[in-house]
Amino acid sequence: MARGAELDYCRAMTRKLSLTVDGKNISCLLHKGDLPADFAVKGNAIAVDCESMGLSLVRDRLCLVQLTDGHGEAHVVQLDRTTYDAPNLKRLLGDQAIEKIFHFGRFDVAMIMRDLGVVCAPVYCTKIASKLARTYTDRHGLKDVIKELLQREISKEQQSSDWGAAEISDAQMSYAAADVIHLHALRDKLNVILTREGRLGLAQACFAFLPTRAALDIAGWDETDIFAHT
């Protein structure tokens, strides 16, 4: 990395934590405003999650986007909510050569579409995949799916916290990272079941529809089943 690029990277990266996951060291990096310009993805898929002030597309705004390519680092971007000027992050999320893995992608894709002006595609949603694959249960929350398929426990203690605060705590950073670091492994496990049950194609069709579902939510059809007879 050139000296100038290194200085830019240091200015953008405000804090770094070291986490241990499955006996492996994971670095969690907090960036203010945007990813560094030279950020590069290893592989062809990133796991993505968002944090906002709440779950309303009318009332609440996007605060953080966290992501990982599954190769030892998790990145948390604390967005500037006055401008949402994050060209490097937007370029990555809109890159059609990179699959974006979400859990309950419907909400995250809508928030990214509304506040960042980016249509995420292609996408994979582990919650949709779980509902199509794990038909023997109605427990499809991230914590439950991780516990069964990966035999891991994650904490949801920071789920309800002030994500719009000027300074994000270490506990919030750790929580944000935990929401993405298992998604690659979950996708692989769920794909095995979906393939076995003959539902992978159906799942892929649902994933492809997610940006349209998000656009409908933003436009006000969030509580309406447009496919229903009445």
Domain ranges of the chain: 8-221
Per-residue pLDDT of 90-108, as tens digits, reads 999 999 999 999 999 999 9
Instruction: In whole angstroms, give the CA distance from residue 99 to residue 184.
Output: 11
Mean pLDDT of the region 126-155: 95
Burial of 153 (0-12, 13-18, 19+ CB in 10 A): exposed
Average pLDDT of the chain?
Answer: 91
C-alpha dihedral (133, 177, 165, 87), degrees to nearest 10: -90
CB 67, CB 180: distance < 8 Å: yes
CB 43, CB 73: distance < 8 Å: no
CB 101, CB 65: distance < 8 Å: no
Written as one letter, the residue type at 213 is R
Q: Percentage of the chain surpassing pLDDT 90?
A: 80
Q: Binning pLDDT at 50, 70 and 90, where does residue 5 land?
A: very low
pLDDT at 17 (0 to 100)? 87
Tell me the β-bridge partners of 17. 28
pLDDT at 136 (0 to 100)? 97
Nearest Cα neighbor of 41 from 85, 92, 86, 102 is: 92
Of the options 3.30.1300.10, 3.30.750.24, 3.30.420.10, 3.40.50.2300, the CATH number for the domain spanning 8-221: 3.30.420.10
220 phi-psi bin (left φ>0, alpha ψ -120 to 50, beta other): left
Instruction: In whole angstroms, give the CA distance from residue 108 to residue 216.
Output: 14
Mean pLDDT of the region 148-173: 85
pLDDT at 208 (0 to 100)? 98
On the question of pLDDT at 4 being above 90, the answer is no
pLDDT at 158 (0 to 100)? 52
> Which of 26-30, 42-46, 125-129, 189-193 is predicted least confidently?
26-30
Q: Binning pLDDT at 50, 70 and 90, where does residue 23 land?
A: low
Mean pLDDT of the region 196-202: 98
Q: Binning pLDDT at 50, 70 and 90, where does residue 12 land?
A: low
Q: Is 51 helix (H, G, I), strand (E, B) or coil?
A: strand
Mean pLDDT of the region 16-24: 77
Both tokens of 48, joined, read 């993505």
Q: Is 137 helix (H, G, I), strand (E, B) or coil?
A: coil
On the question of pLDDT at 51 being above 80, the answer is yes
Q: Is 173 helix (H, G, I), strand (E, B) or coil?
A: helix
